[in-house]
Structure 1
Amino acid sequence: MARIEGNKFVIAGGLSQIGSEITQHLLRGGAREVVLFDNFALGTMDTVSGVVSDPRVTFARGDILRTNELFDAFENAAGVFAVAGFLTLPLSLNPQLGLAVNVQGMLNICEASRYRGGVKVIFASSVAVYGETEEDVTTEKAPWVWSGQQPGAVLYGGSKIIGENLGRLYHSRYGVPFVSLRYSSVYGERQHRRAVNSAYIVDTIESIRQGKRPVIPDDGSEVHDYIHIHDIARANVMAMESEASGESYNVATGVSTSLNELVGIILKQMGSDLEPEHRKIEGKIRATVSSTLKFSNAKIVQQLGWRPEISIEEGLRRIIAWSAEEAAAS
């Protein structure tokens, strides 16, 4: 257990969308210091503009591939949120660096935590560890079904499986407190273009704003469990303050939304009467294409008391409003 109030925390990948949201929750929880550890390769100061004025927030330019820099950042820290990593799309474009960051980088975080006396690690994993799950309801015990997936998706899911088991190894061998959180499709304000499923939301919003018909891949029956960054950050903070260690949790709403439903909600909220266009998109990198998908969040509800608070309708309303502000400012 790492109490938030009065303690120091490090966010590896602190300039990310999720890192920024976790920072806000830590500050509201009374954290003494939040170190945003980042190599500035993808993240920018714009992402954390809402917290830079808080004197408790400090920045450490560093790379998780350089262990000595993690040693320095972890000094006197109670916990680290391991958010840094390559998602499916960038990993498929640069597998050499992507696998190094996701695998060796996670090993370095575990080693730095051990070196600093057992800093609690909350690892940003993914439901990609299940691949194209064949379960009616996917619990944390479901196997990885990767046959038929695109190579980039398999490499990403495999890297998250390795990351989780590095944490479990350090938990069992060295007593390093470790929890992995398996996110479903994360979306929300400050959305970037590197997350395959969530980038589609922003692309659709922008198309509609420009008066273009939104394009829905295939017949639109593909479903995803969209989880808002507010609920992701809450899960991270609750996992950090819990007694849990060596555990993995699905962080998902348990609600499946098809692409047809998703686009329909966006069109309604934007007051548009545009008709969607269904089209097969050749060469597009996709994580999953299942039309039947349901993730169970029963374990995290029972053990940590976490429940999602943001519905897909409310989450889309927020990201549409954020997107409009961004468009007005550009």
Structure 2
Amino acid sequence: MSGVAGRKYLITGGASLIGSHLTRALLDAGAAEVVLYDNLSLGSGAVVEALQRDDRVRAVRGDVLRLPSLMDAMAGVDGVFALAAYLTLPLAADPPLGVEVNVMGALNILEAARLLGGRKVVFASSIAVYGGEVHDEVTEATPFRSNDVSAAFAAYASSKLLGESMGRLYAQKHGVPFCAVRFSTVYGENQHGRGVNALYILEALQAVRDGRAPTIRGSGAEAHDYLYAGDAAAGCVAAMERGAPGEAYNLASGRSTSVNEIVAMVLEEYGSPLRPEHVADTRRARSTEHDRLLISPAKAREALGWEAVVAVRDGVRRLRRWLDGLPDAPGRA
């Protein structure tokens, strides 16, 4: 029997892409209750509505910046998944609020867990914490380097590093059971437009579906590690069950896929004869750019018993079916 069965969980930022998949993963594992805590400033009300069709799901309109309401929502749960955050693009659009949510929001979750006691916290971090230091295989010991990445990306990465550091501090000083999961580029059903690198998939799908040539910024050789949201959710559950206090785990596929390959998959998925159009990349808010990215998931595999199972091509197909409104698409209510 799963260690999740019969337990209650809180997901901050529960109306998000990962939050929706995590909710379903917890329910499938037998969770007694899942509380979605979200102010819906970035999350989707439609996602919450669909998830609440299961009577084990309860939605709470709340903000991680408000400690009293956060503590009220956390009362009675066994564990907390701290997903609420501003990604690179929204943080670049509103730096003061983005930094406050990512830093003070994370601190409030830890403080609530300390005051209430007995709540394990799984913190959603990112492989952004490695910055530009991604030339060779990236492990959890790889250091952060920010001098050759965009300011917005470095600010986001720094906020996640600080969240992880505060979590380790609370684990050491107050005994709060805390661990972090570092996501690579997550995509899947309920995809939003806030992920810098996941946008490559979403934009290509939307263009080809509408009969337009997909646009590729630059040469298209830029590579990323694409992680299906269902796999990301499974990794979160594994971290809740088996993650060690103060530890961080890469949740990544371990495979490098270029933007050119993504666009080719999309064109093949639609059986389209269109050819991509290459344009200059003028974005200021963007992540690191390399033609090969190897993020090692070995620690998560060995310590958590987790590994990604959905290949990128299959994940693109699932996302396409969801975008096209096909009734049998995974994740569609």
TM-score (norm 2): 0.95
Give the corresponding residue for 2:331. none
Per mean C-alpha deviation after superposition, the further-off stretch among 38-47 and 283-292 is: 283-292
Alignment of 1:238-249 (within 5 A): 238-242=238-242, 244-249=244-249
Amino acid at match of 1:189: E
Give the corresponding residue for 1:267. 267
- For the residues of structure 2 that align with 1:49 and 1:228, how far apart are their CA atoms? 22
Distance of aligned partners of 1:321 and 1:284 in 2 relative to their CA distance in 1, 3 Å threshold: farther
Per mean C-alpha deviation after superposition, the further-off stretch among 49-58 and 245-254 is: 49-58
- For the residues of structure 1 that align with 2:293 and 2:271, how far apart are their CA atoms? 29
Tell me by how many angstroms 1:211 deviates.
1.6
Give the corresponding residue for 2:84. 84
Please say if residues 231 and 310 of structure 2, whose CA atoms lie closer than 8 Å, have aligned partners that are also in contact: yes
- For the residues of structure 1 that align with 2:181 and 2:173, how far apart are their CA atoms? 21
SS at 2:216 equivalent: strand
Alignment of 1:19-98 (within 5 A): 19-98=19-98
Amino acid at match of 2:194: R
1:227 aligns with 2:227: yes
Tell me by how many angstroms 1:135 deviates.
3.8
1:232-279 alpha-carbon deviations (Å, 9 max, x no partner): 000011111115221100000010000111111111111011111112
1:57-82 alpha-carbon deviations (Å, 9 max, x no partner): 11111110010111111112110000
Tell me by how many angstroms 1:284 deviates.
5.0
5+ residue gaps, structure 1, are none
Tell me by how many angstroms 1:33 deviates.
1.2
Please say if residues 191 and 199 of structure 1, whose CA atoms lie closer than 8 Å, have aligned partners that are also in contact: no
Give the corresponding residue for 1:311. 311
- For the residues of structure 2 that align with 1:13 and 1:179, how far apart are their CA atoms? 17
Give the corresponding residue for 1:189. 189
- For the residues of structure 1 that align with 2:214 and 2:74, how far apart are their CA atoms? 46
SS at 1:272 equivalent: coil
Give the corresponding residue for 1:106. 106
Per mean C-alpha deviation after superposition, the further-off stretch among 95-104 and 8-17 is: 8-17
Per mean C-alpha deviation after superposition, the further-off stretch among 103-112 and 5-14 is: 5-14
- For the residues of structure 1 that align with 2:228 and 2:44, how far apart are their CA atoms? 21
Tell me by how many angstroms 1:132 deviates.
1.5
Q: Tell me the percent identity.
A: 45
- For the residues of structure 2 that align with 1:155 and 1:243, how far apart are their CA atoms? 27
- For the residues of structure 2 that align with 1:22 and 1:107, how far apart are their CA atoms? 22
- For the residues of structure 2 that align with 1:110 and 1:226, how far apart are their CA atoms? 29
Give the corresponding residue for 1:320. 320
SS at 1:325 equivalent: coil
SS at 2:51 equivalent: coil
- For the residues of structure 2 that align with 1:281 and 1:142, how far apart are their CA atoms? 28
Please say if residues 25 and 234 of structure 1, whose CA atoms lie closer than 8 Å, have aligned partners that are also in contact: yes
Q: Which runs of 4+ in 1 moved over 4 A?
A: none
1:131 aligns with 2:131: yes
1:158 aligns with 2:158: yes
Give the corresponding residue for 1:146. 146
5+ residue gaps, structure 2, are 327-333
Please say if residues 126 and 184 of structure 1, whose CA atoms lie closer than 8 Å, have aligned partners that are also in contact: yes
Give the corresponding residue for 1:200. 200
Amino acid at match of 1:74: M
Amino acid at match of 2:294: K
Tell me by how many angstroms 1:134 deviates.
3.8
1:178-230 alpha-carbon deviations (Å, 9 max, x no partner): 11000000000110001111122111111111221111111111000000000
Cα RMSD for the two superposed structures: 1.3
- For the residues of structure 1 that align with 2:307 and 2:32, how far apart are their CA atoms? 26
Tell me by how many angstroms 1:50 deviates.
3.5
1:69-111 alpha-carbon deviations (Å, 9 max, x no partner): 1111111211000000000000011000000000000000000
SS at 1:140 equivalent: coil
TM-score (norm 1): 0.96
Distance of aligned partners of 1:6 and 1:264 in 2 relative to their CA distance in 1, 3 Å threshold: same
- For the residues of structure 2 that align with 1:256 and 1:110, how far apart are their CA atoms? 34
Amino acid at match of 1:27: L
Amino acid at match of 1:45: G
SS at 2:324 equivalent: helix
- For the residues of structure 2 that align with 1:156 and 1:141, how far apart are their CA atoms? 19
Length, aligned pairs only = 325
SS at 1:317 equivalent: helix
- For the residues of structure 2 that align with 1:321 and 1:286, how far apart are their CA atoms? 28
SS at 2:3 equivalent: coil
- For the residues of structure 1 that align with 2:212 and 2:23, how far apart are their CA atoms? 36
1:19-62 alpha-carbon deviations (Å, 9 max, x no partner): 11111111111111111111121212212344211111111111
- For the residues of structure 1 that align with 2:134 and 2:231, how far apart are their CA atoms? 26
